[in-house]
A and B are shown apart, each in its own frame.
Chain A
């Protein structure tokens, strides 16, 4: 009990440290450059504390629940050697963790709000929730596919730079066909998928897999999964934009 309390307060400190540079930069600009009173500063501070408390609980929970069971499974499946279950697991891991990713939730809601203001979707709670959920499902699907591809690459030892470059070229080609209002959201969703939840589990999967295959270096072959997970969302959201145009 005491141990978990110290662990929880440590996570709170880490979240505070995450927020600290933002607070410092904004404070310096407010005091020395803008020099104007800030409206509603109390609610800003209160919200900031909620962010820190929420992030601390979230990461603490991940550490005692999601990471042990996820890492154990990644190692056990890599050792088991069944390609089918390994692929299924990679896909499901990418999909499931992305649906629960906090920054994706935040950006999807913002994107829905902007779409309402621009008149792309109706201003009803249903339409907003539907748009945000649709975006999240597409991104989650794409991260699932990314991990599947990444694991396939580790097993077959295909060249990472070649695959990534091919992906970039494809993104540029698809961009020219996509409706302009989806392009910004699509590019942003690539950076959104790879934060708190996905990275540690994905790294465990990659390094565990490369470690249990002969002739692979867990350090060099284990990296690169994140790169796939930040590329496929762009492609999938662009395609989603093209597809919804026709419906």
Chain B
């Protein structure tokens, strides 16, 4: 049964933590009853989540992929076409992917927490909203570009290698304080609800588009959603520095002019 399966998934971490508390720190486990009840909730919750996933998020991702790539649907939205489909015909897929990546990331609670912390650490230089929008734009572009890759069947590693190269270049140019934050923001976008849905979307696309194989082309959307926010957050940091420089230069100019005015 599913409760038994998830219990074996959770058991290792529980045993490890208890062993450390008892044998390394050598202290009793505080609030043992509360902790045991909590782990009970973890096991039941994980089981329900996985069952719900099979019933809803997986079929939903597949369904969206099938409907948006259906030749009948594409003929209907773009007038009747009697030729083979090219990648431009799938523009609703890219729009859907971008909307999904952007909106789920903007609403992500973990990202909000990171943004508030980053705002405090940077002394206000990194805006809470600015960072959230930067990460969400990165995720939206990432998922849309990932769908484009699945539809065209281009090799995943070219995109990833180009993305990494971009990150390396930007790391050299961006302000130092934004770098660790940017690296971590890649992991923040891929939440527990989003991952199964976009994974199913990718596999569904690879199944529905003629000539693609789910095994070779279906994966990679999650990787795109994790990579592109790094680029967009680094870009956001570079933009913030640029803006500061120009506004400082502007200030100096006006100050100079004022001094000249006083001289006359």
Q: Say whether A associates with B.
A: yes
Chain A interfacial positions (CB closer than 8 Å to B): 14-15, 17-22, 24-26, 28-29, 33-34, 36, 38, 40, 43-66, 68-70, 72-73, 76-77, 80, 85, 89, 92-93, 95-97, 99-100, 102-103, 105-107, 110-111, 114-115, 117-118, 120, 160-161, 164-165, 168-169, 171-172, 175-176, 180-181, 183-185, 187-188, 190-196, 199, 219-220, 223-224, 226-227, 229-230, 234
Residue of A nearest to B219 (CB): A184
Task: Specify the main secondary structure of chain B where it touches its partner.
Answer: helix
Residue of A nearest to B164 (CB): A168
The distance from the CB of A148 to the nearest CB of chain B, in whole angstroms, is: 14
| Contact B20 A89, beta carbon cutoff 8 Å | yes
| Contact B9 A99, beta carbon cutoff 8 Å | yes
Residues of the A chain whose Cβ atoms lie less than 8 Å from the Cβ of B47: 54
Residues of the A chain whose Cβ atoms lie less than 8 Å from the Cβ of B53: 47, 51, 106
The answer to whether A38 and B63 touch (CB under 8 A), given A47-B55, A187-B156, A190-B223, is: yes
The answer to whether A46 and B192 touch (CB under 8 A), given A17-B109, A68-B31, is: no
**Within the complex, which residue of B168, B192, B219, B221 is in contact with A195, where a contact is CB–CB below 8 Å?**
B192
Residues of the B chain whose Cβ atoms lie less than 8 Å from the Cβ of A59: 45
B216 contacts partner chain A, Cβ-Cβ < 8 Å: yes
Question: How would residues 47 to 77 of chain B score, 1 for a CB under 8 Å from any chain A CB and 0 otherwise?
Answer: 1111111111111100110011000010001
| Contact A51 B193, beta carbon cutoff 8 Å | yes
Residues of the A chain whose Cβ atoms lie less than 8 Å from the Cβ of B29: 69
The answer to whether A227 and B186 touch (CB under 8 A), given A58-B42, A73-B17, is: yes
Task: Specify the main secondary structure of chain A where it touches its partner.
Answer: helix
Residues of the A chain whose Cβ atoms lie less than 8 Å from the Cβ of B196: 103, 106-107, 110
Residues of the A chain whose Cβ atoms lie less than 8 Å from the Cβ of B60: 26, 44
| Contact B219 A47, beta carbon cutoff 8 Å | no
| Contact B107 A115, beta carbon cutoff 8 Å | no
Rounded to whole angstroms, the CA-CA distance of A117 and B12 in the bound complex is: 31
Other contacts beyond A18-B191, A195-B191, A230-B226: 11, CB < 8 A: A21-B103, A47-B53, A58-B41, A68-B35, A72-B21, A77-B25, A106-B53, A181-B215, A188-B219, A191-B225, A229-B187
Residue of A nearest to B220 (CB): A184
Rounded to whole angstroms, the CA-CA distance of A168 and B99 in the bound complex is: 29
Residues of the A chain whose Cβ atoms lie less than 8 Å from the Cβ of B106: 21
The answer to whether A106 and B46 touch (CB under 8 A), given A43-B55, A46-B55, A160-B179, is: no
Residue of A nearest to B194 (CB): A22
Instruction: Name B217-243 residues within 8 Å CB distance of A.
Output: 217-223, 225-226
